[in-house]
């Protein structure tokens, strides 16, 4: 298997320009969308089937009237232990030789188990195609020796793409440098491969606690919810079938009388 490829996003360098978001839409030929009212400069509250990358904006008060803006370009995490992959009943979601996680659109049946299984709310359902969709790290580009369009477009190198082990070393050094500069809250999110989902192949350098950036402090795989949903669906189908049998039997009894 090839070395694992990953993406490292350093939010301390993000200027919120959305070049990454535009490049993602252009390369993946994603249709334009009407922006939502989010109360910030953010286009949408969540990822959609037409937005694989989302620049998030967060306003923080110091309690004394001063406000600070935090910006982060968010994307699919391509988890080492991917809830979407484990929940998929058809094998449509698979891991490439580079460690990335993709969805085969020809096999996906649109059940949406992957949507509820993602702890980061990344996977979206496309009503037009009837399939689930998400970021692929520009799978076609990386298989042709190119990096993802978002990383190529970033003017500040806030988004970097390469081999995971090399990026992790760069990320740890960057945290050390920031702490020496007095940024005490600087921390890595998802770089540790001993984490709950085995580490993220899209990990981040944050300047505050993960919850400020809309990230779960302790991401978990909600297979239990998927299992419950599956059992409820099966139960509902059985009830409908049983109801049909009873109705048919009653109708047949009345006819014979």
Residues 85, 91: Cα–Cα separation, whole Å? 8
- 93 in Cβ contact with 190 (< 8 Å): no
Q: Which fold has domain 5-213?
A: Alpha-Beta Plaits (3.30.70)
Query: CA-CA distances (angstroms) from residue 68 to 26, 187, 242?
Result: 31, 18, 59
pLDDT at 61: 84
Alpha-helix runs per DSSP H in 53-163: 83-87, 113-117, 139-142, 149-153
- 54 in Cβ contact with 47 (< 8 Å): yes
Residue 189 burial by CB count (10 A; 0-12/13-18/19+): exposed, middle or buried?
buried
Judge whether residue 48 has pLDDT over 60.
yes
Residues 202, 215: Cα–Cα separation, whole Å? 13
191: enclosing H helix or E strand: none
pLDDT at 220: 86
Q: Residues near 254 by Cβ (< 8 Å), separated by ≥ 6?
A: none
Residue 97 burial by CB count (10 A; 0-12/13-18/19+): exposed, middle or buried?
exposed
Predicted TM-score of the model (pTM): 0.84
Q: How confident is the model at residue 66 (pLDDT cuts 50, 70, 90)?
A: confident
pLDDT at 105: 97
Q: How confident is the model at residue 250 (pLDDT cuts 50, 70, 90)?
A: low
Least confident of 84-98, 141-155, 182-196, 235-249: 235-249
pLDDT at 239: 61
Stronger pLDDT, 231 or 219, i.e. the higher one: 219
Q: What is the mean pLDDT of residues 214-222?
A: 88
Q: What is the mean pLDDT of residues 89-112?
A: 97
- 22 in Cβ contact with 50 (< 8 Å): no
- 117 in Cβ contact with 221 (< 8 Å): yes
pLDDT at 246: 54
Query: DSSP labels for 30-84?
Result: PPP-PPP--SSS-S-SS-BTTBS-EEEEEEEE-SSS-EEEEEEEE-----SS-HH
In the chain, what are the domain boundaries? Answer: 5-213, 222-257
Q: What is the mean pLDDT of residues 112-138?
A: 97
Judge whether residue 87 has pLDDT over 60.
yes
Q: Regarding beta strands 5-10 and 101-103, do their DSSP bridges make them parallel or antiparallel, or are they unpaired? A: unpaired
Judge whether residue 245 has pLDDT over 70.
no
Token couple for 102: 């993709």
Convert the pLDDT of each residue in 183-208 to its tens digit. 999 999 999 998 779 999 999 999 99
Q: What is the mean pLDDT of residues 17-39?
A: 95
Q: What is the mean pLDDT of residues 223-246?
A: 52
């Amino acid at each position: 298997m090839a070395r694992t490829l990953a993406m490292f996003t350093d939010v301390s360098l993000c200027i919120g320009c959305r070049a990454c978001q535009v490049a993602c839409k252009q390369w993946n030929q994603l249709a334009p969308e009407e922006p939502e009212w989010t109360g910030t400069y953010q286009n949408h509250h969540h990822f959609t089937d037409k937005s694989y990358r989302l620049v998030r904006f967060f306003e923080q008060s110091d309690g004394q009237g001063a406000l600070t803006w935090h910006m982060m370009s968010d994307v699919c995490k391509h988890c080492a232990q991917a809830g979407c992959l484990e929940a998929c009943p058809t094998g449509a979601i698979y891991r490439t030789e580079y460690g990335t996680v993709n969805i085969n659109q020809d096999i996906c049946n649109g059940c949406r188990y992957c949507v509820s299984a993602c702890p980061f709310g990344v996977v979206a359902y496309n009503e037009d195609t009837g399939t689930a969709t998400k970021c692929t790290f520009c799978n076609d580009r990386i298989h042709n020796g190119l990096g993802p369009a978002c990383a190529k477009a970033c003017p500040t190198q806030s988004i970097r793409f390469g081999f995971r082990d090399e990026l992790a070393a760069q990320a740890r050094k960057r945290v050390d440098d920031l702490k020496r500069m007095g940024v005490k809250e600087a921390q890595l999110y998802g770089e540790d491969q001993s984490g709950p989902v085995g580490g993220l192949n899209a990990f981040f350098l944050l300047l505050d606690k993960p919850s400020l950036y809309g990230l779960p402090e302790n991401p978990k795989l909600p297979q239990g919810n998927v299992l419950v949903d599956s059992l409820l669906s099966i139960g509902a189908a059985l009830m409908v079938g049983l109801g049909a049998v009873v109705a048919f039997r009653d109708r047949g009894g009345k006819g014979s009388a």
